């Protein structure tokens, strides 16, 4: 089995670390601990820089466990959370970041901790939402998305001048659109299943709480179709008027107008 030069460098570095830690045995207690902790932190960061997140997690976890009161522990906690996030362990990263936020409320890196927590939660919610989009609606489908929204909103509110603010606001907008898209998916599902009142409720929720989302025209179109299925021509007409007034040239509007005209033509033919 071939071993990459990068892994060899990490291995050699860890061997060197063991030798240096052994040499600390003759130093006074506090000084020896400082040297050992500093070496663990240095090697942990080096592993992360080289993309060896597993080694970074192991080294930094060892540092935090062995030297919990050392000055390197605070930055090590953030580095550990980052390594967990990058290695696909987003939920564990969130746990570590929650600890950091509680332990270091005055840290100069607090904005970054909030930001990284939001990114980790967003990674989870994006994966879950993609999976839920291919299934019938579920009550808890947006739980992770709402958590991501809350985390990123907290960052934006607490640190409006931070370097992470603009990206957080951008991601909040993207997340809002994704949540609206799921609600439209749910409304359309209920429409096709013949649950017209439920379809109207879900679609109306989009128009009310995601009013700036690109999904709004689709939500209105679903409402129009559901009202027609319920025989509520006037409500369908009122909704269509609103749709055409605000979104005249989008495909959803044209589709809704076609369905409405067909409905009226059928009534007149009968």
Which domains, ranges and CATH numbers included, belong to the chain?
A: 1-87 (1.25.40), 89-183 (1.25.40.10), 194-270 (1.25.40.10)
pLDDT at residue 48 in the model: 98
pLDDT at residue 28 in the model: 44
pTM, full prediction: 0.83
Q: What is the DSSP string of the chain?
A: ----HHHHHHHHHHHHHHHHHHHGGGS-HHHHHHHHHHHHHHHHHHHHHTT-HHHHHHHHHHHHHH-TTSTTHHHHHHHHHHHHHHTT-HHHHHHHHHHHHHH-TT-TTHHHHHHHHHHHHHHHHHHHHHHHTTSS--TTTTHHHHHHHHHHHHHHHH-TTSTTHHHHHHHHHHHHHHHHHHHHHHHHHHHHHT-HHHHHHHHHHHHHHSTTSTTHHHHHHHHHHHHHHTT-HHHHHHHHHHHHHH-TTSHHHHHHHHHHHHHHHHHHH-
pLDDT at residue 21 in the model: 46
- Residue 184 above 50 pLDDT? yes
Per residue in 235-247, pLDDT (tens digit) is 999 999 999 999 9
Per residue in 143-158, pLDDT (tens digit) is 999 999 999 999 999 9
- Residue 8 above 70 pLDDT? no
pLDDT at residue 198 in the model: 98
Percentage, residues of the chain above pLDDT 90: 84
- Under the banding of pLDDT at 50, 70 and 90, the label for residue 32 is confident
Segment 106-120 mean pLDDT: 98
Segment 162-191 mean pLDDT: 97
- The whole-chain average pLDDT of the chain stands at 91
Per residue in 206-250, pLDDT (tens digit) is 999 999 999 999 999 999 999 999 999 999 999 999 999 999 999
């Amino acid at each position: 089995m071939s071993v990459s030069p990068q892994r060899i460098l990490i291995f050699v570095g860890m061997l060197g670390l063991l030798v240096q830690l052994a040499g600390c045995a003759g130093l006074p207690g506090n000084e020896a601990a400082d040297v050992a902790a500093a070496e663990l932190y240095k090697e942990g960061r080096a592993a992360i820089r080289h993309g060896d997140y597993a080694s970074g997690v192991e080294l930094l976890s060892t540092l935090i466990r062995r030297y919990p009161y050392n000055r390197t522990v605070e930055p090590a906690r953030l580095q550990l959370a980052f390594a967990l996030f990058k290695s696909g362990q987003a939920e564990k990263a969130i746990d570590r970041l929650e600890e950091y936020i509680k332990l270091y409320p005055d840290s100069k890196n607090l904005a970054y901790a909030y930001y990284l927590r939001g990114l980790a939660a967003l990674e989870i919610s994006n994966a879950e939402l993609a999976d839920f989009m291919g299934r019938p609606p579920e009550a808890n489908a947006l739980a992770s998305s709402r958590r991501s929204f809350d985390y990123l909103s907290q960052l934006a509110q607490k640190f409006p001048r931070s370097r992470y603010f603009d990206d957080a606001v951008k991601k909040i907008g993207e997340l809002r659109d994704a949540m609206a898209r799921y609600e439209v998916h749910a409304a359309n599902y209920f429409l096709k299943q013949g649950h017209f009142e439920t379809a109207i409720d879900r679609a109306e929720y989009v128009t009310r709480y995601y009013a700036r989302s690109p999904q709004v025209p689709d939500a209105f179109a679903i409402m129009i179709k559901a009202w027609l299925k319920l025989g509520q021509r006037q409500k369908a007409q009122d909704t269509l008027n609103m749709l055409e007034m605000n979104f005249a040239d989008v495909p959803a509007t044209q589709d809704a107008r076609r369905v409405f005209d067909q409905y009226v033509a059928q009534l007149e033919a009968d």
